[in-house]
């Protein structure tokens, strides 16, 4: 039994129990209608096109982007073909591509390719920049203030190896051990910020997919009722990430074994990667399905199952692109600190510049700017991955088409002719 809920686009008081709920088709493979969230667009926009029903068979065939073929090929309306799956890159074995998919917003309503996911994330940032930047700037500023405070408190206790002498392994290990808590705090602070930002921007991405406008006020209105559950989910994910990162290295630390600690660190990286990818889709699942935090974690694990490496690869690529872009943004701020820092460039060589408030504040401002611009792209990719997985497995594109008011949608990613 498929217990997947329906799509929850923000904006309507319907809770799935009103008269429009009866018009919603059952989720694929389920024995009851999809439960619609309390925040939907106006009920009139959700009426199902005449004669359109969701497919009764799984729509995912061979390949990443396959779906059932239409009854007849384009240009041959009288020729009936069996509904066999085919890859949308080469339908029917011909050289031409498929008919253009319905695209009410930033993505086409069909299984998405890598480029479409990245392009959709960038288009969301470009088209809804007021809502996106207003949220990401607040999250980035709060995170950076906390990081700068911790950096300044811990910098005096960190051992900096002498750059003019030969590297001493013991001194290097001691420096790494001193800096470990700071790096760990920075890593988990980044995870916390990404989880919150993904949850807060999920309503913005959902509106962008439907081709609807969003404002900071409408985003806040959509998020406010779910704030307690969002904070609970964030806490659960943070605790899980802490357990995945700390438990593998704990035996080596307690026994004082460097070799065992190194092995534990390797195990931590693997476990953290598995944890992050498995539950990466939980924030958008919580905000768009409006369930409980535990239900969101289960939904993420279910959607990622069988596509772990794909979700991992796309998420890793988005992180690399984000990191490179943020580093480029930081270059002018680093040049400013080189001019303002006492001692000039020599203070960078001996590490003394990083202990000064001038360096911390200027680089902190640069980090806020970089995070505010680049983090929404990664969170947008995460939300679009969630939507893509539901399109592939649950025919979510049918519900999205009804939400966007697409007429004549035939369930194959294209619109059927409406004229006689």
Q: How confident is the model at residue 209 (pLDDT cuts 50, 70, 90)?
A: very high
Alpha carbon 217 to its chain's center: 22
Looking up tokens 């009410």, which residue turns up? 104
Q: How confident is the model at residue 408 (pLDDT cuts 50, 70, 90)?
A: low
Check residues 47 and 169 and name the one with the higher pLDDT.
Answer: 169
Span of 67-81, 150-164, 275-289, 359-373 with lowest mean pLDDT = 67-81
Examine the pLDDT at 208 and tell me if it is beyond 80. Answer: yes
The total number of residues written for the chain in this structure: 420
Examine the pLDDT at 289 and tell me if it is beyond 90. Answer: yes
Give phi and psi for 68, each to the nearest 5: -60, 140
**pLDDT for residue 351:** 59
Q: What SS3 state is found at 241? A: helix
Q: What is the pLDDT of residues 229-248, one digit of tens each?
A: 999 999 999 999 999 999 99
Nearest in space to 386 (alpha carbons), one of 325, 329, 302: 302
**pLDDT for residue 257:** 83
Q: Are the beta carbons of 340 and 314 closer than 8 angstroms? A: no
Q: What is the pLDDT of residues 163-205, one digit of tens each?
A: 444 555 555 556 566 666 777 788 889 899 999 999 999 999 9
Check residues 350 and 84 and name the one with the higher pLDDT.
Answer: 350
Nearest in space to 284 (alpha carbons), one of 242, 226, 243, 228: 226
Q: Beta strand pairing status for 85-87 and 66-68?
A: antiparallel
Q: What is the pTM of this model?
A: 0.72
Q: What SS3 state is found at 224? A: helix
Range 38-55 average pLDDT: 37
Check residues 123 and 17 and name the one with the higher pLDDT.
Answer: 123
Q: Are the beta carbons of 101 and 70 closer than 8 angstroms? A: no
Q: Which residues contact 88 (CB under 8 A, 6 or more apart)?
A: 65, 66, 67, 97, 98, 110, 111, 413
**pLDDT for residue 363:** 87
What angle is formed at CA 381 by the lines to CA 380 and CA 386, rounded to 5 degrees? Answer: 95
Q: What is the pLDDT of residues 262-276, one digit of tens each?
A: 899 899 999 999 999
Q: Which of 58-72, 124-138, 179-193, 331-345 has the highest mean pLDDT?
A: 124-138
**pLDDT for residue 322:** 94
What angle is formed at CA 283 by the lines to CA 281 and CA 181, rounded to 5 degrees? Answer: 95
**pLDDT for residue 11:** 46
**pLDDT for residue 120:** 95
């Amino acid at each position: 039994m498929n217990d997947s809920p329906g799509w929850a686009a923000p904006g309507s008081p319907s809770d799935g129990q009103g008269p429009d709920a009866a018009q919603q088709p059952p989720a694929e493979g389920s024995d009851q209608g999809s439960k619609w969230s309390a925040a939907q667009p106006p009920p009139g926009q959700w009426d199902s096109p005449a004669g359109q029903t969701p497919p009764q068979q799984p729509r995912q065939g061979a390949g990443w982007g396959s779906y059932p073929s239409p009854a007849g090929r384009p240009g041959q309306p009288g020729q009936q073909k069996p509904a066999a799956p085919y890859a949308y890159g080469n339908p029917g074995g011909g050289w031409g591509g498929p008919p253009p998919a319905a695209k009410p917003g930033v993505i086409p309503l069909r299984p998405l390719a890598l480029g479409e996911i990245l392009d959709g994330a960038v288009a969301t940032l470009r088209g809804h920049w007021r809502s996106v930047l207003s949220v990401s700037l607040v999250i980035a500023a709060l995170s950076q203030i906390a990081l700068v405070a911790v950096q300044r408190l811990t910098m005096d206790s960190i051992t900096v190896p002498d750059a003019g002498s030969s590297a001493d392994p013991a001194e290097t290990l001691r420096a790494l051990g001193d800096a470990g808590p700071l790096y760990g705090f920075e890593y988990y602070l980044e995870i916390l910020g990404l989880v919150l930002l993904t949850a807060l921007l999920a309503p913005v991405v959902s509106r962008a997919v439907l081709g609807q406008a969003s404002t900071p006020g409408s985003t806040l209105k959509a998020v406010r009722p779910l704030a307690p559950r969002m904070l609970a989910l964030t806490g659960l994910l943070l605790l899980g990430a802490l357990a995945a990162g700390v438990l593998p290295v704990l035996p080596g630390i307690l026994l004082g074994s460097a070799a065992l600690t190194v092995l534990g660190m390797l195990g931590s990286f693997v476990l953290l990667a598995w944890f992050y990818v498995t539950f990466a889709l939980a924030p958008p699942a919580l905000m768009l399905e409006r369930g409980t935090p535990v239900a969101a974690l289960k939904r993420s694990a279910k959607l990622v199952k069988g596509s772990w490496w794909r979700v991992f690869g796309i998420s890793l690529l988005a992180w690399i692109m984000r990191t490179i872009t943020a580093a480029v943004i930081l270059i002018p701020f680093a040049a400013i600190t080189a001019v303002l820092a006492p001692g000039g460039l020599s203070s960078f060589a001996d590490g003394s510049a990083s202990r000064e408030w001038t360096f911390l504040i200027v680089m902190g401002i640069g980090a806020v700017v970089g995070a505010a611009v680049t983090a929404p792209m990664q969170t947008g990719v995460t939300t679009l991955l969630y939507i893509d997985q539901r399109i592939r497995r649950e025919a979510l594109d049918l519900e999205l088409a009804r939400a966007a008011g697409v007429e004549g949608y035939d369930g194959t990613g294209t619109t059927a002719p409406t004229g006689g």
